[in-house]
Amino acid sequence: MADLKLGYKASAEQFGPRELVELAVLAEEHGLDSATVSDHFQPWRHKGGHAPFSLAWMAAAGERTERILLGTSVLTPTYRYNPAVIAQAFATMGCLYPDRVMLGVGTGEALNEIATGYTGEWPEFKERFARLRESVELMRALWTGERTDFDGQYYRTVGASIYDVPKGGIPVYIAAGGPLVARYAGRAGDGFICTSGKGMDLYTEKLMPAV
């Protein structure tokens, strides 16, 4: 049986970037195993909220810590980000902090994407899920370090290569709030991130059995 590991969720809506870094340092000092950060362009509540950039925070926390796993919980690599650029960013961090970086991904929230220029109706789940699957496929291809010609429904690369890639690529943890994506996480992910604050039946009867 795998050992139980405990982590710190760096709530970027609640604290500013400097304080969040110091909290990650404290998490490591107190024996926690990971620190993961939300990736929101703006907080759930505007008054008194925060929204530091997750990747800048990860790099700063990486420089201040030595052991804990760092990652996103979660980032959407499908709309305001191009998945190829996210693949490059995480490959770089994986080289800087070997075996200490993971990418947590999800299908996205209108809150973040519409504010940064997405136009039209927010896509239905079917399209968001298709984009997520395609983005994960593309990022994994790029993490091989090989020349990648990718011609998907939503994303395309021509002769793209990432030149600095950690051995084995980057672990991808997939967030799910229902059984369909949970099954995908079990099939294609390196880890699974549960939605929080729901009734216990969601976890015991739907999410965990699907994984």
Residue 195 has pLDDT above 80, yes or no: no
Task: State the chain's mean pLDDT as an integer.
Answer: 94
Secondary structure letter of residue 106 according to DSSP: -
Query: If you average pLDDT over residues 102-122, what whole number do you get?
Result: 93
Task: Write the pLDDT tens digit of every residue in 22-73.
Answer: 999 999 999 999 999 999 999 888 888 899 999 999 999 999 999 999 999 9
Q: Is 40 a catalytic residue?
A: yes
For domain 7-210, give the CATH number: 3.20.20.30
Query: Residue 132's pLDDT is what?
Result: 98
What is the rounded CA–CA span in Å between residue 135 and residue 107? 10
- What is the average per-residue pLDDT within 16-24? 97
Which candidate in 28, 40, 113, 134 is catalytic? 40
Neighbours of 201 (CB within 10 A): 9
80 φ/ψ angles, rounded to the nearest 5 degrees: -75, -15
pTM of structure = 0.94
Specify whether the backbone of 149 is left (phi greater than 0), alpha (psi in -120 to 50) or beta. beta
Per-residue pLDDT band at 7 (split at 50, 70, 90): very high
**Per residue in 115-174, pLDDT tens?**
998 989 999 999 999 999 999 999 999 999 999 999 999 999 999 999 999 999 999 999
Is 206's pLDDT higher than 70?
yes
Q: Which residue has the higher pLDDT, 14 or 1?
A: 14
Active-site annotation holder among 13, 50, 109, 137: 109
- Give the start-to-end residue ranges of the domains of the chain: 7-210
Token pair recorded at residue 148: 């990648």
Residue 1 has pLDDT above 70, yes or no: no
For residue 60, report the phi and psi dihedrals to the nearest 5 degrees: -65, -45
